[in-house]
Amino acid sequence: MFPDAGPDDPTVTAMRARELGRKSVVVGDRVNLVGDTSGTPGALARIVRIAERRSVLRRTAEDDATTAEGRLERVVVANADQLVIVSALADPPPRTGFIDRCLVAAYDAGIEPLLCLTKADLAGPEAVLGYYTELELPYVLIRPDSDLAALRALLAGRVSVMVGHSGVGKSTLVNRLVPEADRAVGTVSAIGRGRHTSTSAVALRLPPQPDGDGDPGWIIDTPGVRSFGLAHVSAESLLHGFPDLVEATVDCPANCQHTADEADCALDAWVAGGKADPRRLASYRRLLASRSGEGDPREPERNPGDPLAGS
């Protein structure tokens, strides 16, 4: 990817050089090329070097690192500045468990999160925003006819990767931001699940705006996912996705595991004192349990009992 590329620069086709060995090239990588970089039909360059990555967003199929799926780590994108978590407010309903997972992955990778709530014409955002009120999480509301100026301003000058369940309107949003992208869109099934329409990640240069003279930024559209495993994130780092709970752990005893079985864990008193939403603590502890193989690997993004979770 070429963050400094202009809209008129050619699209270069390149293949990985043999000397790179098994080192993989992912969307977002900055690379050095040799050969024909003219972009003319039939031209082919070679990728001979992959620059050191500033950030790496990863996910696994499961949370338990002792399973084959938990050990299968996937690099979603490299060098992203911002993770845009796309969630519909209805059809399909929002799932805070999935959003929590994305927040953990973002903070672990050193990437800033942005919550993008689509289908705001079908439901209000109050319940979702209330759940995250202590985080001061930046967000945007998207309707089919809404002006995207606020979103474009948050994307400008950045490399942003968009993730979300199938059916939340992610590809439709990408097509509105980059009309020539022509990303496939689909419908939501009768059971509330979206159909996978994007099959591969792709980096797209945002078009310059008439009233702007700066860098409009890049967006990386990713295939819709049903889960976001966190086996690659340590148990200690899981807490970074819950900044509203971090302060309470100062009063925890040494080597506290923060589970419900820890009689002296300060998190319970913190929540009982109204300093955090009890659903946030429940979500954090579900993630801890899932790491030990105690969760449901089929639907790890759900928060059972939470009306926001689509359970």
- At 297 the three-state DSSP class reads coil
Confidence check: pLDDT of 261 > 60: yes
SS (H, E, C) 201-260: CEEEECCCCCCCCCCCCEEEECCCCCCCECCCCCHHHHHHHCHHHHHHHHHCCCCCCCCC
Q: Report the C-alpha gap between 224 and 292 in whole angstroms.
A: 26
Residue 265 has pLDDT above 70, yes or no: yes
d(CA 11, CA 286): 45
Instruction: For 270-284, write each residue's pLDDT tens digit.
Output: 999 999 999 999 999
Strand partners, 33: 47
- For 31, phi then psi, to 5°, come to -130, 160
CB-based contact 51:30 (threshold 8 Å): yes
Q: What is the pLDDT of residue 5?
A: 60
pLDDT at position 183 is 54
pTM here is 0.85
| Three-state secondary-structure class, residue 286 | helix
CA dihedral over 47, 52, 57, 59, signed as positive or negative: positive
**pLDDT tens-digit readout, 131-174:** 999 998 999 999 999 999 999 999 999 999 999 988 899 989 99
Q: Please return the burial class of 193, using the count of CB atoms within 10 Å of its CB with bins 0-12, 13-18 and 19+.
A: middle
Q: Which helix (H) or strand (E) element contains residue 32? A: strand 31-35
pLDDT in tens, 162-213: 999 888 999 899 999 998 876 545 443 333 344 444 457 899 999 987 776 7
Give the residue, 196 or 31, on which the prediction is more confident: 31
Predicted pLDDT of residue 120: 97
Please check whether residue 188 is in contact with residue 167, taking contact to mean a CB–CB distance below 8 angstroms: yes
Element (H, E) at 287: helix 278-291
pLDDT reported for residue 61: 83
Which of 17, 24, 38, 155 minimizes the C-alpha distance to 86? 155
Rounded to whole angstroms, what are the CA distances from 251 to 240, 262, 270, 280, 284? 17, 13, 10, 18, 18
Cα(first)–Cα(last) distance of the chain, in Å?
39
Check pLDDT > 70 for residue 305. no
Over residues 98-107, the mean pLDDT reads 95
Kindly state the percentage of the chain with pLDDT values over 70.
86
CA distance 232 to 287: 13
Residue written as tokens 């078009």?
Answer: 207
Helix (H, G, I), strand (E, B) or coil at 33: strand
pLDDT of 8 reads: 63
What's CA 278's distance to the chain center, in Å?
24
* Region 28-55 average pLDDT: 93
